[in-house]
Amino acid sequence: MELFVALGLIVFKVAFLIAILLLLPLPLTWVERKIAGHMQQRMGPMRVGWHGLLQPMADGIKLLTKEDHIPAEADRFLFKLAPILALVPPFVVFVAVPFGENISVLGTEISLYVSNMNVAILFIFAVIGIEVYGVIFGGWAANSKYAVLGSLRTCAQMISYEIPMGFSVIGVVMLAQSMSLLEIVRAQANVWNIVYQPIGFFVFFVAGLAEAQRIPFDLAEAEGDLGAGFHTEYSGIRFAFFMVSEYAIMLLMSVLVVILFFGGWNGILIPLPPILWFLIKVAFFVYLFMLFRFTFPRYRYDQLMAIGWKVLLPLSIANIILTGIAFL
């Protein structure tokens, strides 16, 4: 009986997590448009619903009912597979992400995570790396020069930024003596890692912007010179998959920044519930991602490569050395 209850609880957690990740892009698109509008001295969405609140629903209906167009010369199998490869990895990694400690519901202890992996960081980096194949396949299969250029840019960008991103968390692992995200948060009960790892945070956050393909590092799309980049030829629900994937990665990067460097659900000064502390921190970094999109200009491709290899990689290596000298 206990086994069935445990399995049922896991299924419920996974279903709840998937539902949240699928629905969350709807309000996030509205928030991002409003932020852009206010920064540019305009109103943003206003026509559909009060202050445009129903605009995401209108967009969703449009994408679901729009004609599914596939170019005549495209590789149909890879063209259909690419959005799935882009969408699934950002969802899968959330099974290793904790959102808090155990809570008691009707006398039953329920953990706020699906799985407490002792190698959670390795799992996340390994799975999230698969997402780039969706982008590459999408550009290549479309048989369009602009889409191919976008996918090739993505390949180079991901290689350049995932290396320093991986190195930037080594200092955190050294301090916590564990790769479990739960143990990393517990190790920050008194002092958050941002105090000891400001360089690691800087490298991870900048690399996270590139991983999420957000301005100023959205060379994979670059609508100014590539039409829409790797998904130029996509429409309807397949285009929506790419957009949901982008927002899921942005959310994942925000969650990881909070867990690795800002104490997770550990609060400070104000006695708020741990889950509320966690949500406030994540919301702040999601807002920061959106703010940066409408603040900074897009870097040139050579600048993008130079920042990854000549700035972030040496900084991440220096952070490992300094952490080893100071704390071990």
Nearest alpha-carbon partner for 174 in 183, 162, 165, 164 = 183
Q: Are 134 and 155 in contact (CB under 8 A)?
A: no
Predicted local distance difference test score (pLDDT) of residue 131:
83
What pTM does this model have?
Answer: 0.89
Q: Could you give the CA distance from residue 233 to residue 141 in angstroms, rounded to a whole number?
A: 10
Q: Which residues, 6 or more positions from 325, have their beta carbon under 8 angstroms from its beta carbon?
A: none
Which residue type does 206 have?
V
- Strands annotated E in the chain: 103-105, 108-110
279's enclosing H/E stretch is helix 274-293
- The pLDDT, as a whole number, for residue 228 is 66
* Residues 252/128, Cβ–Cβ less than 8 Å: yes
pLDDT for the residue numbered 51: 85
Q: Which residue has the tokens 């020069």?
A: 145
Please choose, from the candidates 238, 230, 235, the residue with its C-alpha nearest in 3D space to the C-alpha of residue 147: 230
* pLDDT reported for residue 258: 94
The token pair at 37 is 């509008």
Token couple for 199: 């360089």
| CB-CB contact of 272 with 128 (8 Å) | no
Q: What single-letter DSSP state applies at residue 310?
A: I
Contact indicator for 137, 85 with CB cutoff of 8 Å: yes
- For residue 108, which phi and psi values (nearest 5 degrees)? -110, 130
**Tokens 């130029």 label which residue?**
232
- Measure Cα distances from 316 to 9, 171, 205, 253, 327 in Å: 39, 9, 12, 17, 16
Q: Say what the pLDDT of residue 319 is.
A: 92
- Domains of the chain by residue range: 1-65, 74-327
Q: Which among 198, 250, 236, 227 is positioned nearest to 69, based on CA atoms?
A: 236
* Tens digit of pLDDT at every position of the chain (328 positions): 667 767 877 888 888 888 888 888 888 888 888 988 888 888 888 888 888 888 888 888 888 888 888 888 888 888 888 888 888 888 889 888 888 887 766 666 777 888 888 888 999 988 988 888 888 888 888 888 878 887 888 788 888 888 899 999 999 999 988 898 999 999 988 889 999 999 999 999 998 888 877 777 777 665 555 556 777 788 888 888 888 888 888 899 999 999 999 988 888 888 888 889 999 999 999 999 888 888 888 887 788 888 888 999 999 999 999 999 887 6
